[in-house]
Amino acid sequence: MEDRPYLHEIAAGQKRGEARGIHSVCSANRYVIEAALLQGIEDESMVLIESTCNQVNQFGGYTGMKPEEFNRFVLGAAASLGFPVERLILGGDHLGPYPFRHDPFEQAMAKTIDMVKSFVHAGNTKIHIDASYRISDEPVEKGGGLSPRTIAERCGLLCRHAEEAFVEHRARNPKAAAPVYVIGTEVPAPGGSETREPEDRITKVADFEETVALTRSAFRKEKIDGAWERVVAVVVEPGVEYGNQTILEYDRTRTRALAAALTRCESLIFEAHSTDYQPTRVLKQMVEDGFAILKTGPVQTAAVREAVFMLARIEEECFGGKRGGRSKSAGLSRFVETLDRVMVEKPVHWKGHYREGDAAFQRKYSFFDRQRYYWSEKPVLEALDRLIANLRSIDIPLALLSQFLPEQYKKVQAGLLDRDPESLIRDRAMDHMREYAWAVGNRKAAAVDWWSV
């Protein structure tokens, strides 16, 4: 997939003073992945797609896919859209004990090691090691969790196993690219924050420098000094986050010391998580300040949800009453109601995130977008198929497109987009993809100055 160390090229450009970056799309949603690939075609750019340890692992995660299966899924989408596979980077995010933290220590660590190896064996070339989560039966250390030294040593251990897995992988695939590593953990849990409102946190310079020093020492202890040369980024808190209905916007005046500290590191850049919902001009400032990997997830699936909800409104207008002298309401998809019903029946993925008195509203409209955990449920898939089939049976009226999907209406009118419901969904997701493409300096997107607002 990755013939050259593109992320290292980004880091080298940053050290030359270039505002270069890449958008990391962390999602298992088909429409989001297709939109990312289409954006890559539009920009003639590299595309970075990652899956978290919650979404995908050796046991299937909540998507039911193992790393190799997820990669085949993405590669299949790329082939169907004509996206060049050599411009695709596949990553594993938050690879650490988090999914197994309730198991006994020895069992949890064995599963974690197997998970890291499974991502490397699958051909993932960007590996974020997140060793920050305490396993339930191990002692509480500094600050109620794990000490920075323990986290760093565990990171080194997992990277050693990743390196061993790569030797095995390259034996079967001689042209395979060596993995590039991301370290650092000062971010919410995989899948998003577990608090209802955002916390205003910025990594201290001393903590960043300690993470780098301790982790480098851990690599040396594990005798994988060569792998340190492939550590390209450190995850830090830049003061961006979102809650159910609130957004903390990046303020570059508060990260000046952190950005200055990064300039003292020869080859490292920052990776920023939870950049969802940030204004486009702010995203560009983040890249300029060294936050060169901008990771998103919920903002993209929320865009898909918005498009599908609007298509459901269009369906109601076209099929919900008596048009042509007969009622068509029996054939409605009732997608919105079906999705909410499934969420109520299986509350595990949203219960701790939404307030009891406001849960019905938040299930639909929270920035956390916990709906993304339910799109693969059979009743939801069946309702979505019905919705798409209904809308494909008609020419969607332009007046309804203007009413419910005004940006897509403009593109349809300009001959840039067709009225197929799935095309409309993908393009709604691409609205955000284009903003990130502009922010990270993709050549074609950079020429579109109206993204700067």
The pLDDT assigned to 266 comes to 87
Q: Which of 134, 136, 129 is nearest to 152 (CA)?
A: 129
Confidence of residue 191 (pLDDT cuts 50, 70, 90): low
Task: Give yes or no for residue 194 having a pLDDT over 70.
Answer: no
Instruction: Give me the residue label for tokens 């370290």.
Output: 183
- pLDDT-derived band at 140 (thresholds 50, 70, 90) equals confident
Residue 450 scores a pLDDT above 90: no
Average pLDDT over residues 300-328: 84
d(CA 363, CA 217): 45
Question: What is the residue type of 165?
Answer: A
- Closest by CA to 430, choosing from 26, 37, 24, 90, is 37
Q: What contacts 393, CB < 8 A, 6 or more positions away?
A: none
Checking if the pLDDT of 2 tops 60, the result is no
CA of 329: how far to CAs of 317, 321, 323, 391, in Å? 10, 6, 10, 13
pTM score, two decimals?
Answer: 0.93
> Measured between alpha carbons, how far is 137 from 192 in angstroms, rounded to an integer?
24
Q: What is the pLDDT of residue 452?
A: 43
pLDDT at 190: 57
Percent of all residues in the chain with a pLDDT value above 90, rounded to a whole number: 86
Helix (H) or strand (E) holding 128: strand 126-129
* C-beta contacts of 350-353 below 8 A and 24+ residues apart: 352/194, 353/192, 353/194, 353/196, 353/244
With both helix axes pointing from N to C terminus, report the angle between 421-439 and 280-288 in degrees, rounded to the nearest 10: 40
- Give the number of other CB atoms < 10 A from CB of residue 226: 10
Q: Which two tokens stand for residue 315?
A: 């369906």
Q: What is the mean pLDDT of residues 177-192?
A: 78
Give the residue-averaged pLDDT of 156-169. 98
Sorted by where each starts, the structural domains of the chain and their CATH numbers stand as 6-297 (3.20.20.70), 302-429 (1.10.400.20)
186-217 burial, b if ≥16 CB within 10 A, otherwise e?
bbbebbbbeebebeebbbebeebeebbebbbe
Q: Which residues contact 193 (CB under 8 A, 6 or more apart)?
A: 199, 241, 242, 243, 274, 368
What pLDDT is stored for residue 141 in this prediction?
A: 77
User: What pLDDT, in 10s, does the model give residues 25-72?
Assistant: 999 999 999 999 999 999 999 999 999 999 999 999 999 999 999 999
Which pLDDT score, from 0 to 100, does residue 197 have? Answer: 56
Residue 328 has pLDDT above 60, yes or no: no
